[in-house]
Amino acid sequence: MEPDRSERKGSPMEAHAGRRYVVTGAASGIGAATVTALTEAGARVVAVDLAWDDLAGGGDRVERVALDVADREQWAELAARLEDASAADAASGPAGTVGDDDVRLDGLVNAAGITRRARLDDVTADDFEQAFAVNAIGPALGMQVLAPLMPAGGSVVNVGSAAGTMAHYGIAYGASKWALRGLSRVASMELGPLGIRVNAIHPGYIETPMTASAPPAFLEASIRVAPLGRSGTPDDVAPLVGFLLSDESTYLSGAEIAVDGGQSAHGGAKALSDALRAASSETTDVGAQTNGTLTESQEVHGRHQ
């Protein structure tokens, strides 16, 4: 089913006026930045998190909801609230509200996540259960319960991790993000006939409260392996989420997009490249010191670069 694009806007972040989205993990990090970007573009957002201190805050376009993403009953209660809100909007009738034939829910962003950093030699079953409950089961339940509220043109964005694209030392966390990749692909296949798109993004080191709790060595190493040579911010990620929710990406589904400064693209080759560049520089320096005359071993080294 093809969505109606008759009122399609020019900029991805201008294409959300009058729309309604659910964003999980909305109290901080990528989720919070996404809520801000969407509301500034005119959308209404149901901001889901367990960390809200004040459910009444957030502004006119934001409804804060405390919800455990691993609890299907709480998802069902949210779906019922969305249906009730749509009915109330339809009854009120002013321009810009949701009418009988309009969208009840335009999209879902599964940004809630937890980290578990135990390595293989000391990981526990609880580590796996907790990581999978939030990082994999939560998004699966959200898609299962909320997809029926979406019309053709609806969009789901699952926030994975670079840890789900490579070997990650935190085995429970990494495994749960690998699982989310599979869930996203299956959901794109299952929901595609309904006109609902599902895509996954995989951030690298993004400056959030979660990554702030990691040892400083993790940040230093993350910057070292990222070709762009810096960490990312939630504002580096939110525009991509907005694009995937918008009508500018209507034929994009089942995709996986890295937002990691190039970290996952080189597959570990950056360390080799950097080592060879350093060795080449050293060889050049030695050649200069010997008036351009290289030893036999230096010549052989150069031929093998």
Q: Annotated catalytic, 173? A: yes
| Candidate list 21, 169, 173, 251, residue with the active-site label | 173
Task: Tell how strand 107-110 and strand 20-24 pair up.
Answer: parallel
Q: Could you list the active site residues?
A: 173
